[in-house]
A and B are shown apart, each in its own frame.
Chain A
Amino acid sequence: MNYEETELTLGLPGRGTKRLLSGEATTKGDKPMVVGWPPVKEHRKGITMSRRYVKVAVDGAPYLRKVDLQSYGNYDELLSALQELFGCFTESDEKKLVDCVNGTLEYVPTYEDKDGDWMLLGDVPWKMFAQSCKRLRLMTRTPSIC
């Protein structure tokens, strides 16, 4: 009997690991996984499975939080989680993050990458971002009215 499947764990729903049985193909991210491809030996697998906790600062918030980038699959999931964590902003109709109280105050999601540069979130594929992000900052700005 496989006890692992009935084990209680903390984690987001729908993010369990899929066990790959020899001879079967399974799916991950819309692509079928094939036995033995790519040709990586067993002992080399699972090196990246470490947690990636990064600090999140939001302008105006009294303290910082930490999130584990490994537990999200894409930018939307991350931003939803941040909304829940901080509770001071929400997503507007134009897909921007705006303050719950003052609708003209916008939060721009930025991050510091491994080279030390501050970048706007969303330009690179999620996985690449998750590997190179060192910390997050949601900067506030009021769009200028001309």
Chain B
Amino acid sequence: MAYSFPEEVLEYVLSFIKTDKDRNAVSLVCKSWYEIERWCRRRVFIGNCYAVNPRIMIRRFPEIRSVEIKGKPHFADFNLVPEGWGGYFHPWVVAMARAYPMLEEIRLKRMVVSDDCLEMIAKSFKNFRVLVMSSCEGFSTDGLACIAANCRNLRELDLRESEVEDLSGHWLSHFPDTCTSLESLNIACLGSEVCFSALERLVSRCPNLRKLQLNRTVPLEKLPNLLIRAPELVEFGTGAYSAELRPELLSNLVNAFAGCKKLKALSGFWDVVPAYIPAIYPVCCGLTSLNLSYANIQSPDIIKLVSQCQNLQRLWVLDYIEDSGLDVLATCCKKLEELRVFPSDPYDVEPNVSLTEQGLVSVSEGCPKLQSVLYFCRRMSNAALFTIAKNSPNLIRFRLCIIEARAPDYLTYEPLDAGFGAIVENCRELRRLSLSGFLTDRVFEYIGKHAKKLEMLSIAFAGQGDLGLHHVLSGCDSLRKLEIRDCPFGDKALLANAAKLETMRSLWMSSCPVSYGACKLLGQKLRRVNVEVIDERGTPESRPDSCHIEKLYIYRTLSGPRVDTPDFIWTMDEEGNTPQ
């Protein structure tokens, strides 16, 4: 006798199961659960837009309301991925316009989105609510005008670091007077002036506005009037934080900030005039997140500010903070979980500020909850790394960038193998690691042995040979994303660990001695994996098989070879040929 829950009951239970991991597990229980689950899944996350295609997604999940898709490889952020590589949103929006009329949310990262795509979003999805485009490109303010004009219930428009063709600031005026639903607006990446009166009216009529990030062109004088119209703000990003010194502006700002009782996060702060920093003192004790990474203020001003933010959990700052400022941070901000220190002058070998490894050591000593670190500095030692590893065993993300490539331990001139080894050995929960400095194959031995939960690894100018790569591929059980540039890793490790590549999202290698012949072999060996050779010098067929390729991108996929490759990408096919 068959006995099972009625479908409706199971669906109700499943509505409490939110994460992809759990949903995927549910779908594997049996065929009927697979069926029920796929009809009631509402969100889908696609980490690599070429790993699957719209048809497959729609066929399996017919009732999606929220889609998140990522396109270009991470190294595109640093100009390593050539222009025209791909990551087009267009085929997705065309398919979803037909299949998902009830779609509410689209979140994209490193994708190419045209104004046509934005128009299609605006006109196809009646209930559209959330558009987040992180590091995207290909669209203009005309496309934004279309979204503003047509999305009746828009709640979030977040342009996070996208590259927008800024034709005019008038797009903002396209929000109709009837639009009162906005909860989050991030236009920080836009270059031109937005129509300020339209912005003010928009803010006034949206009572639920919780997040507002302005762009640099919004002058400081305009802030008080804007802030008093948005008392519910939780996150706020200023424009340029400078003006002539006027006492009444300062007191207006103080009052305006004081009126935002729920403020937890501040950002913006371009062109800071230190005299106006005290305006935010009233809100400092409530802040959990502070982004000063565009603020060119010096250490004493940063110290005065940070020492008032006892509840700070996240700080992004320029290296102007210096070691002395990080000492104060370590003393005052005991709840700190995430620290990012960016370089104010990355291209000069000479240090322009007194920020060294000591600053990070202090923070690791003083902040027991430290989980996530991104730190640019000009020198490091194994001793410092040992101390950091000992002080911060709960690190989840550790990204260290010693500005000079291949810089050794500045005290002993040894490689930094042992120091990073201590990090992976002590920090058992480490999921993301970026290496720098002078490193031999030894460090990869430690990583392969200890970094069992590591999911993403970034390597540059490191290692001695294939053995290094072999350690990583054979040892890191949880590895999903591996990106490598300018390392002496060649064919052997790749071919010996080909099967590993089927278990990962993607592998990027550039300026490494990988031969074209090895790429062809990999293409033959690997089913359901695309092996893409990127070479702007012309077809690799015109050179011997032993010739090294420029760049390689390997990723698993259900979708077969790409159909939209530009002329500088060759997909190695399963017969060992290069398609024409």
Contacts and interface: CB of A to CB of B under 8 A. Distances in A.
A44 interface: yes
B375 to A, nearest CB: 12
Given A35-B80, A132-B298, A44 B351 contact: no
A13 B138 CA distance: 38
A125 to B, nearest CB: 5
B308 interface: no
A interface: dominant SS: loop
Contacts of A45: 346
B347 A127 contact: no
B344 A48 contact: yes
Contacts, number: 84
Nearest to A114: B298
Contacts of B75: 36
Interface in A110-139: 114-115, 125-128, 130-132
Nearest to A130: B352
B5 interface: no
B79 interface: yes
A41 B401 contact: no
Contacts of B82: 22
A39 B353 contact: no
A95 interface: no
Interface in A27-50: 28-31, 33-45, 47-48, 50
Interface residues of B, number: 39
Given A38-B403, A43-B161, A47-B318, A125 B351 contact: yes
Contacts of A33: 347
Nearest to B318: A47
Contacts of B313: none
Contact of A29 (B350, B351, B353, B354): B350
B344 A36 contact: no
A99 B189 CA distance: 53
Nearest to B324: A115
Interface residues of A, number: 31
Interface string B293-326: 1101011100000000000000000101000000
Nearest to B510: A36
Given A35-B79, A36-B79, A39-B77, A28 B299 contact: no
Nearest to A127: B352
Contacts of A34: 405, 486
A127 B344 CA distance: 11
A95 B186 CA distance: 55
B350 A38 contact: no
A47 B298 contact: no
B376 interface: yes
A23 interface: yes
Given A37-B405, A38-B403, A114-B299, A28 B347 contact: yes
A48 B345 contact: yes
A115 to B, nearest CB: 7
A48 B296 contact: yes
Given A38-B343, A43-B161, A127 B350 contact: yes
Given A23-B536, A35-B80, A40-B342, A29 B349 contact: yes
Given A40-B342, A125-B351, A131 B298 contact: yes
Interface string B489-511: 00000000000000000000000
Nearest to B83: A22
A35 B299 CA distance: 30
A59 to B, nearest CB: 27
Nearest to B161: A43
B68 interface: no
Residue among B299, B347, B401, B461 having the largest count of chain A Cβ atoms under 10 Å:
B347
A23 B78 CA distance: 12
A119 to B, nearest CB: 13
Contact of A36 (B78, B349, B352): B78
Contacts of A30: 349
Contacts of A47: 294, 296, 318, 344
B165 to A, nearest CB: 15
A38 B161 contact: no
B352 A131 contact: yes
Contact of A44 (B299, B342, B405, B460): B342
Contacts of B189: 43
Interface of B: 75, 77-80, 82, 161, 189, 271, 293-294, 296, 298-300, 318, 320, 342-354, 376, 401, 403, 405, 460-461, 485-486, 536
Interface of A: 22-23, 28-31, 33-45, 47-48, 50, 114-115, 125-128, 130-132
17 contacts: A30-B349, A36-B79, A37-B460, A38-B403, A39-B78, A39-B401, A40-B376, A42-B79, A44-B342, A47-B296, A48-B345, A125-B351, A125-B352, A127-B350, A127-B352, A128-B352, A128-B353
Top 10 nearest A-B pairs (CB, nearest first) are A36-B78, A127-B352, A39-B78, A127-B350, A114-B298, A125-B350, A36-B80, A38-B346, A48-B344, A131-B352
Given A29-B348, A131-B320, 9 more contacts: A36-B75, A40-B346, A45-B346, A47-B318, A48-B345, A114-B299, A125-B352, A126-B350, A132-B298
